[in-house]
């Protein structure tokens, strides 16, 4: 009996070793910090990536400034996608992301929206009296820290509307909050990205700002942890043809 047990052990150990070698190796998670306006499209991109590489993607969405500050304070992001170049540059200057590991990923447009059930007519002309065209508040992101808000201030200034509309602004923590205020009818007008406007049937785009009215809307992507091979692969996947097709479907303009 002792000889039999010893013989079985001699068979079992190599067999177990072989089975363990053949088991799929679990990949490390990838943590992505992405601008709030990317919520819908990144949900789809992440599912594609997880299915292809069997790697779990965890994503945090907020305004680009909030995410950049979190990274500065030690947030465990592997990849950062900002809604403007300024916050990526901020992290570059802090030596938290190197220029060699960043790319201009996407473009977008700035639009004025109204509740779909009660749209307000807006003419994109410096002679148009925007303030007199509606009653109530205009919602957009914070004009000092949230990218959509900064673009908005530039665009309103270019159109000579800034001074008259400034007292009626509701400045939100990110673009999706502004979108939701308009969708619920709490703000009769809002300024968001074109991609946000098409994400819900509750709002209608009533005007689109000229591209020369504000800084070009560019979404840079960068590696926070370039030594993480999974992060590198995800960063490269964002620039793949498969990912570009999804970005286009959601209204973004892939760059390069």
User: What 3-state class would DSSP assign to 14?
Assistant: helix
Per the CB < 8 A criterion, the answer to whether 234 and 45 are in contact is no
Tell me whether residue 175 is annotated as binding.
Answer: yes
Tell me whether residue 85 is annotated as binding.
Answer: no
Rounded CA gap, 71 and 49, in Å? 23
Cα three-residue angle 82-130-188, rounded to 5 degrees: 70
Question: In this structure, are strands 218-223 and 102-107 parallel, antiparallel, or unpaired?
Answer: antiparallel
Per the CB < 8 A criterion, the answer to whether 140 and 171 are in contact is yes
Tell me whether residue 37 is annotated as binding.
Answer: yes
Handedness of CA 208, 210, 213, 217 (dihedral sign): positive
Helices (H), 35-146: 39-53, 64-72, 85-93
Per the CB < 8 A criterion, the answer to whether 35 and 71 are in contact is no
Q: If you search the block for the tokens 């594609």, which residue do you land on?
A: 48
CA atoms within 13 A on the CB side of 108: 27
Separation of CA 122 from chain center: 28
Tell me whether residue 60 is annotated as binding.
Answer: no
Annotated binding site: 37, 64, 175, 193
Please state the residue numbers annotated as binding site for molybdate: 37, 64, 175, 193
């Amino acid at each position: 009996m002792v000889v039999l047990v010893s013989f079985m052990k001699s068979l079992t150990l190599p067999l177990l070793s072989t089975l363990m070698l053949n088991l799929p190796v679990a990949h490390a998670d990838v943590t992505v910090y992405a601008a709030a306006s990317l919520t819908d499209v990144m949900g789809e991109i992440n599912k594609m990536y997880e299915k292809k590489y069997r790697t779990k993607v965890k994503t945090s969405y907020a305004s680009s400034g909030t995410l950049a500050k979190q990274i500065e304070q030690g947030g465990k992001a592997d990849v950062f996608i900002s809604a403007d170049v300024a916050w990526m540059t901020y992290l570059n200057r802090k030596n938290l992301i190197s220029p060699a590991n960043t790319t201009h990923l996407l473009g977008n447009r700035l639009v004025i929206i109204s509740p779909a059930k009660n749209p307000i007519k807006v003419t994109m002309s410096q002679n148009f009296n925007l303030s007199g065209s509606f009653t109530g508040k205009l919602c957009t992101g914070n004009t000092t820290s949230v990218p959509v808000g900064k673009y908005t201030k530039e665009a309103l200034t270019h159109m000579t509307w800034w001074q008259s509309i400034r007292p009626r602004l509701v400045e939100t923590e990110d673009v999706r909050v502004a979108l939701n205020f308009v969708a619920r009818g709490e703000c009769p007008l809002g300024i968001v990205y074109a991609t946000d406007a098409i994400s819900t049937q509750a709002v209608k785009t009533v005007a689109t700002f000229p591209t020369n009215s504000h800084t070009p809307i560019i979404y840079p992507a960068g590696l926070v942890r370039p030594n993480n091979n999974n992060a590198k692969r995800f960063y490269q996947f964002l620039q793949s043809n498969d990912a570009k097709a999804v970005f286009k479907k959601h209204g973004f303009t892939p760059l390069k």
